[in-house]
Structure 1
Amino acid sequence: MRTLNLGILAHVDAGKTSLTERLLQAAGVIDEVGSVDAGSTRTDSLDLERRRGITIKSAVVSFTLGGTGVNLIDTPGHPDFIAEVERVLNLLDGAVLVVSAVEGVQAQTRVLYRALRRLGVPTVVFVNKIDRAGARTDDLVRDLRAKLDPAMVAVDAVDGLGTATADSEPRERDAAYTEDLLEALLDSAADTAPTEAGRVDDLVDAYLDDPAPTDHSGMSHVARDAALDAAFAERVALARAHPVHFGSAITGTGIDGLVAGLGRYLPGSEGDPAGPLSGTVFKVERGPAGERIAYARLFSGAVAVRDRVPVGDGREGKVTGISVFEDGDDHARSRAEAGQIAKLRGLGEVRIGDAIGRPPKLRTEHFLRPALETVVAPVRERDRPALHTALTHLAEQDPLIGLRHDESRRELSVSLYGEVQKEVIGSTLAEEHGLEVDFRTSTVICVERVTGSGEAVEVIAKAPNPFLATVGLRIEPGPGIDFRLGVELGSMPFAFFKAVEETVHDTLREGLHGWQVEGATVTMTRSGYWARQSSAHGGFDKSMSSTAGDFRSLVPLVLMDALRRAGTVVCEPLHRFRIELPAADLGGVLAALAKLRAVPEPPEIRGSRCALEGTIPAGAVHGLGQRLPGLTSGEGVLESVFERHEPVTGPVPSRPRTDANPLDREAYLLALTRRVTGG
């Protein structure tokens, strides 16, 4: 059976969870559509999701539509949970982007579409809520083309727009529809390879040269229309063009057309169950006994209960239980195969992002890093150990939570995309772990960039080096964090090189000012060790033999010395913002932006409305969002997305270190001694 791994994405409140319910009903999985407001939907299972009426965690439900097995993944719409969305995109064969017919293209709509386009996920657009007052069709399609992608084609026509009896039917094959398809094909080929663009041009030219072919049988019309439809479907499958369906998830109109479109436009997957095992973990949750349960999509091969499988970077786990998503729920099975999404038990320390078996070839991941962090403190001091354990479990489920433990200050910090996450984390800790917590005011997460080149070396048996290792390191600006060898690979045991590389990455999590270092190339320029020695009585003598621990202890001192000589600059995250507001309120908004250190561009004024774009420090976005309604009589609409990091102006912010502080040699060595002796 053909399998379609389908994602439903939307700005919050556009109606994607309601659409999921309609699709489940269309597949015969449920008899009655659940309500988001009533908290009775199938995919919003968390208590907080039901109370707030939003999706927080991705949920999976499977069903069959027209001979196709669909694994449908309902994803969060609130921007605070964008990481939950992005990690799902690698699993998808296609996506439905839901847009409200009333609100139109919103802030998160743009963010989601950019992610879908960047990763090449074939996407169908569903315009929901055509039964609502204020619903739009033609104007909305023009907005979709202008704000998202010009290669958008409305494939449905709507009657009774904005009324309870609104209906949606496939568009008639007329000159206007043909023109829309031709324009979309040309737009879709604008930035493609010459051969690909040439095929599209040839098809379009055939229409333009002879727009009304005559044939007594009428077959030339049919054949050419079929060729045009096939070309458009091909462009959709390549994520270059997008059909736009209209309907209402509440009334059910347009759902049949959408289902037909999913089968027509979105390619499925045909994994080989007999091939080598290959899958990826996209979600981890805890079972009743605290055991980890991994959600994995299998791209190839099969896995059975009691199989021992490779997990992640060289680990191995024994599968003790399997559940497969089928017919609207997950069912215990003895085996899972390619194309399926399964829940696997028994894989021990499995983490999100781990490969199961052979690592699959995935689309390039691009997780926007959280821009904020906050300290989480227990209301009752006796709960501090339990809080550390609970937050560790949450970090397993969401790696971007970025848990930091400052032992000297006894503080636990987590990363955030926005303030709503505080409520989610607080509710989760209270409801699942019985812990009451307080949050401090959120602060901005900066990064450090290397500004020059610096080099340092410490030699074995030469003061002040107390370790049985020789390490020389040079650090300079570069893409990512890249570790290179400037010495012969055979000059010392591979385990020692591995220890150096791992410690370099660990050490650069905190730079000269306590922020993570990004964009650096580190080259090992010198190495040396003492081979395994024996005492006079033939026993191993640690005092005369180098170990990997010597290198792990020495690297932070050498690397931070080199980094100090190279220098770093602290950079803060900047967001690109867009504000749509009444033109009469522009002056007040510009004044507020100036106080928030925003840099606006010239406004775009259209009659009584205007649009304003520019950049703003990430830490000021929340404040701008709070002030905007009062400045615009509630009519201002703000959207923002991370754009880049820029050097901080004014006082340089620093963050307390959580490591043993290799910038202070005496304190660092004392901390190591205490760690070894337990003092």
Structure 2
Amino acid sequence: MKQDNIRNVAIIAHVDHGKTTMVDRLLGAAGAFRENQRVEERVLDSNDQERERGITILSKNIAIQYGDVKINVIDTPGHADFGGEVERVLNMADGALLIVDAFEGPMPQTRFVLRHALALGLRIVVVVNKVDRPGARPDEVVDAVFDLMVELDASDEQLDFPVVFASAMNGYARYAADDGNMDMVPLLDTIVQQVPAPDCEPSGPVALQICTVDHSSFVGRIGVGRLYSGTMHKGEQVLVIKNDGTRYNTQIKQVFTFQELGKVEVEAAGAGDIIAVVGVDDADIGDMVTNRDNPIRLDPIEVEQPTMSVVFEPSTSPLVGREGDIVGGRQLRERLMKEAESNISMRITDAPNSTGMEVAGRGVLHLSVLMETMRREGFEFQVGRPQVIIKSDGHGGKLEPIEEATVDVPSEYAGKAIEVFGTAGGEMVDMFQRGEDTHLMFKIPSRGTMGLRTRLLNATRGEAIMFHRFSEYGPYRGEFGRRKNGLMIAKENEKSVAYALDTLQQRGRLFVGPGVDCYEGMIVGESAKEGDMVVNVARTKSLGNQRSSSADKAISLTPPISFTLEEALEYIEDDELVEVTPQSIRLRKRLLSAIDRKKANKS
């Protein structure tokens, strides 16, 4: 039976194609904000890191009341590292708005999320966004989307997709790119007409599959999912069927439905709606909450496995405890196990041969977002170089994750870009001209993508635009692309002095400025030559009783290089660590003592 007064629709797109801004405009068009209400841009990107990075990290649910129809909208991340969020929330939807930039067209992440949406049989509505952008080519982009859907084996029904042209920034949607309409009504009408109403059994036994887990410090875990059949009542006795097949009985304490930007508590929620429930204490992704007497079990939610791992350890730095409140190994383990409960796309286990925890995720950005969250919570810890997860091919060979990378670069720098990818194990699979730019496609090992963006931007004078996403596991491609330059390593525990740094900056690039606490084994710069060197950052000028001709000469220091978490993780080698504190990101050697490092190198 169709619930004609409900539509469940996900918004999918490549990063920065305008999903979250589009949601802002839909909320405004449906009257979710008062006329005099001050509304921030990208209102759904409520997480601090989402606002700072300008990307969506966590999927969000909102609801728009349009006439008699309630439209549940699921905003999803656009970056490939957060694909686990996309894969599971698509299970709640019957249709998807595929937002594509009118200039850039379909990009790598468009392919990734579209493949999952088509496999689930969702009705696709193509929204060509940014039609007001200079150089926009909306008709060509629609053709490119059609070609992509054919390539991804879309059904004939899915290929007959409706198209809406829009400018989310200017708040309008149109049936034709130049028809002059200046509101969002065409898009809302298209959703109601083209996205199918949820097919469900309102009078059947209760069946809710949990797709997202929220957490509240007041009520604990909150399971969010789509109610496939029945009516869920507050206080109802239900059966929970876990992913591993175990079962137990519990009582639903609270039921919520989504309304505009928040949740509202209700006494009962009907089939077809997206709801949230409190009472399943260990709610997990894929769990079924169903009728005790007539249980229903749906297919488990499968999420692609992580491809990269890193080991979190308690900090062993001489400066430990100066900046962070939480430094113990036990607290670090508890925090990571709590993360494992709600983050289905991460795999967190005790690290073999180590006091730390091994955290496996989709990529360096995925892992660094967790680190950034923890350092803001007051944690102090250290992490090693990210390692790709190697698999066996069953015949004694090794398989490693291979990424598909696309690069748009001015034609004059295309040769430089190809050279950079070649040194990182990349293999070019396609190349064509697009206006004044050259579009390049590569297959490259995940190992090769670490630090690649920085090298590419340096080689192309900041002109290249690169995206990459996991493609498949392929044959191991051997060793390549190690760092050629040596490092400057602090000799002892001292504050850095401008006089010493002035001498050192002539021999390479510095990572610290004057007056910074340093310790033996801390990396303070990069040498211009190969081979590490131990340096004294606290050396001061020896003073005699005669006035020197250069005594009053001002010291001029080049600003030190500061690393973001992702850059630090991509920079270090296997014998080095990144020390993460609420205030600092430091690089250090795993063995702090120069004598210990020499012994290790000999052995």
Within 2, Cα distance between the matches of 1:375 and 1:385?
Answer: 15
Matched, 1:448 2:276: no
> Is the partner of 2:382 in helix, strand or coil?
strand
Structure 2 residue identity aligned to 1:435: F
Within 2, Cα distance between the matches of 1:445 and 1:574?
Answer: 11
Contact in 1 for aligned 2:84/2:303 (Cα 8 Å): yes
The match for 2:382 among 438, 452, 470 is 438
- Deviation string 1:499-538 (CA, Å, 9 cap, x unpaired) is xxxxxxxxxxxxxxxxxxxxxxxxxxxxxxxxxxxxxxxx
Matched, 1:249 2:168: yes
> Is the partner of 1:149 in helix, strand or coil?
helix
Larger CA deviation: 111-120 vs 584-593? 584-593
- Deviation string 1:354-386 (CA, Å, 9 cap, x unpaired) is 122245545x95533222111223445842212
The match for 1:286 among 200, 207, 215 is 215
Matched, 1:314 2:246: yes
Structure 1 residue identity aligned to 2:381: V
The match for 2:313 among 364, 377, 390 is 377
Q: Which residue of 2 aligns with 1:624?
A: 452
Matched, 1:411 2:414: no
- Deviation string 1:314-365 (CA, Å, 9 cap, x unpaired) is 3223212221213542111222221122221121222111122245545x95
Within 2, Cα distance between the matches of 1:251 and 1:91?
Answer: 30
| C-alpha RMSD of the superposition | 3.0
> Is the partner of 1:45 in helix, strand or coil?
coil
> Is the partner of 1:23 in helix, strand or coil?
helix
The match for 1:420 among 361, 365, 369 is 365
Within 1, Cα distance between the matches of 2:428 and 2:50?
Answer: 36
Taking the TM superposition and a 5 Å limit, the aligned residue runs for 1:43-54 are 43-54=44-55
Structure 1 residue identity aligned to 2:49: L
Contact in 1 for aligned 2:238/2:251 (Cα 8 Å): yes
Within 2, Cα distance between the matches of 1:607 and 1:288?
Answer: 53
Shift of 1:630: 2.9
> Is the partner of 1:403 in helix, strand or coil?
strand
Structure 1 residue identity aligned to 2:263: D
Taking the TM superposition and a 5 Å limit, the aligned residue runs for 1:273-672 are 273-289=202-218, 291-311=220-240, 312=242, 313-316=245-248, 317-357=250-290, 358-359=295-296, 361=298, 367-379=303-315, 380=321, 382-406=327-351, 408-431=353-376, 433-451=377-395, 568-601=396-429, 603-604=431-432, 609-650=437-478
- Deviation string 1:413-464 (CA, Å, 9 cap, x unpaired) is 2122232224421232244x5323333221111123433xxxxxxxxxxxxx
Shift of 1:4: 1.0
Q: Give the TM-score, by structure 1 length.
A: 0.61
Q: Which residue of 1 aligns with 2:112?
A: 111
Shift of 1:57: 0.8
Q: Which residue of 2 aligns with 1:136?
A: 137
The match for 1:12 among 4, 11, 15 is 15
> Is the partner of 2:167 in helix, strand or coil?
coil
Within 2, Cα distance between the matches of 1:395 and 1:359?
Answer: 27
Matched, 1:149 2:82: no
Within 2, Cα distance between the matches of 1:32 and 1:150?
Answer: 44
After superposition, the Cα gap between the structure-2 partners of 1:54 and 1:111, relative to the gap in structure 1 and judged at 3 Å, is: same
Within 2, Cα distance between the matches of 1:359 and 1:644?
Answer: 34
Within 1, Cα distance between the matches of 2:24 and 2:102?
Answer: 19
Q: Which residue of 1 aligns with 2:24?
A: 21
Within 1, Cα distance between the matches of 2:402 and 2:37?
Answer: 40
Contact in 2 for aligned 1:34/1:41 (Cα 8 Å): no
Structure 2 residue identity aligned to 1:373: S
User: Identity rate of aligned residues, in percent?
Assistant: 30
Q: Which residue of 2 aligns with 1:77?
A: 78
Within 2, Cα distance between the matches of 1:58 and 1:343?
Answer: 14
> Is the partner of 2:172 in helix, strand or coil?
coil
Structure 2 residue identity aligned to 1:598: G
Within 1, Cα distance between the matches of 2:234 and 2:154?
Answer: 48
Within 2, Cα distance between the matches of 1:69 and 1:360?
Answer: 27
Taking the TM superposition and a 5 Å limit, the aligned residue runs for 1:30-109 are 30-31=33-34, 39=40, 41-109=42-110
Taking the TM superposition and a 5 Å limit, the aligned residue runs for 1:257-268 are 257-268=186-197
After superposition, the Cα gap between the structure-2 partners of 1:83 and 1:335, relative to the gap in structure 1 and judged at 3 Å, is: same
Within 2, Cα distance between the matches of 1:290 and 1:321?
Answer: 10
Misfit runs of 4+, over 6 Å: none
Shift of 1:131: 3.0
Q: Which residue of 2 aligns with 1:503?
A: none
After superposition, the Cα gap between the structure-2 partners of 1:284 and 1:602, relative to the gap in structure 1 and judged at 3 Å, is: closer
Contact in 1 for aligned 2:407/2:441 (Cα 8 Å): yes
Shift of 1:275: 0.4
Within 2, Cα distance between the matches of 1:359 and 1:57?
Answer: 29
Shift of 1:5: 0.9
Q: Give the TM-score, by structure 2 length.
A: 0.68
Shift of 1:605: 5.4
Alignment: residue pair count? 451
After superposition, the Cα gap between the structure-2 partners of 1:321 and 1:93, relative to the gap in structure 1 and judged at 3 Å, is: same
> Is the partner of 2:78 in helix, strand or coil?
coil
Structure 1 residue identity aligned to 2:445: P
Shift of 1:56: 1.2
Gaps of 5+ in 2: 174-183, 316-320, 480-573, 575-603
Contact in 2 for aligned 1:34/1:40 (Cα 8 Å): no
After superposition, the Cα gap between the structure-2 partners of 1:50 and 1:191, relative to the gap in structure 1 and judged at 3 Å, is: closer
- Deviation string 1:232-262 (CA, Å, 9 cap, x unpaired) is xxx6xx4232222112222222111111111
Taking the TM superposition and a 5 Å limit, the aligned residue runs for 1:149-228 are 149=149
Within 2, Cα distance between the matches of 1:595 and 1:115?
Answer: 33
Structure 2 residue identity aligned to 1:89: L
Larger CA deviation: 630-639 vs 592-601? 630-639
Contact in 1 for aligned 2:256/2:264 (Cα 8 Å): yes
Structure 2 residue identity aligned to 1:266: V
Contact in 1 for aligned 2:128/2:142 (Cα 8 Å): no
> Is the partner of 1:427 in helix, strand or coil?
helix
After superposition, the Cα gap between the structure-2 partners of 1:649 and 1:42, relative to the gap in structure 1 and judged at 3 Å, is: closer
Q: Which residue of 2 aligns with 1:504?
A: none
Gaps of 5+ in 1: 152-187, 193-234, 452-567, 656-679
Contact in 2 for aligned 1:4/1:68 (Cα 8 Å): yes
Within 2, Cα distance between the matches of 1:606 and 1:407?
Answer: 49
> Is the partner of 1:399 in helix, strand or coil?
coil
Shift of 1:608: 5.7
Q: Which residue of 1 aligns with 2:552?
A: none
